[in-house]
Each structure stands twice: as structure tokens, then as C-alpha cells.
Amino acid sequence: MATISSFCQECGKAVQLHVGQSIDVSELVWHSGYSCDCGTQIQMDDTGVPPDEIRYEIIKAEGLWHLSIHEEGKQRLIAAKEIRTALHLPFSDLKAILKSIPGRLKSGTKAEMEWLKKCLSNKGINVEIVLEQENKHSSIPSWEQL
């Protein structure tokens, strides 16, 4: 879980917004919330990928993870199609995805990589997720980057 400095929506005092990501059944979800001394408690939840500010704080707190696909032949094409579907990418991106398989395909939060791994493993694709770095000052790729 990561924290972001914020302000209470009710009284304006400084608060620590706690943010995180997880997988709920087969869906990527994220959440944020805080408790203020004034008694206000806020909890927000949503599905999909969080806004960049929240995502970047999660990566700073938990490290940058990457997903590698270890497939050849027919499984390679199945993997590319599943990645394209999961990420809602246009058909024109299929060639770029195929060029990355076998090998490292995507970087992001641990929950994002575990979600992609789950999507691919359900189709019998050999996938590995690895902590790439814990350097909190490195550049962080946007979700849209392959």
C-alpha cells in the first residue's frame, strides 16, 4: 500500500490518502481512502488501472515489476492475442506484441502483472513476473506503453 499527501474534503486538513491495487476474481481493482481527525472517512474503489498519480505511487512503494512470456510457435500467437484483448489494444499492435514474445513484454505494478499473468495462465501460456527494480527514482512506464 502506498500513501499520497492530500487534504480532507470536509475540513481541508492534511491527510494521508492510502492507495492500493489488487485482483478481485478476474478483474483488476484499485482503492484509495483516508480518515481525518475531524471524523471524515472516505473510501473510493474502482476497476481497471488507477490514475497515473496513484499508479506511480504504488510503483514507488512496491517496486516496478515486469512480465515475461516464454512461448514459441502457436502458443506465442495465442499469448499475443490474449495480451491485445486484455489491454484493449488495436489489432495494429499485434505485430509489436509478437516481436516481444518470447521475452519481456510489459512493466507495471505487481497487481497489474499478476492480473495479466492470470489472464494468460488461464490460456496455458507460460508467464513469469519479476521485480525489476526497487529504485524509487527511476522512470515509470505508463500503462499504455508496451
The full set of domains in the chain, from first to last, is: 2-62 (2.20.25), 64-133 (3.30.1390.10)
Separation between Cα atoms, residue 42 and residue 81, nearest integer Å = 39
The mean predicted confidence, pLDDT, of the chain is 90
Q: Which residues of the chain have pLDDT under 70?
A: 133-139, 144-146
At 18, which helix (H) or strand (E)? strand 14-24
The pLDDT value recorded for residue 145 is 66
The pLDDT value recorded for residue 146 is 59
Q: What is the largest CA-CA distance in the chain?
A: 60
The pLDDT value recorded for residue 26 is 86
What type of residue sits at position 68?
S
The pLDDT value recorded for residue 23 is 95
Contact 59, 140 (CB under 8 A): yes
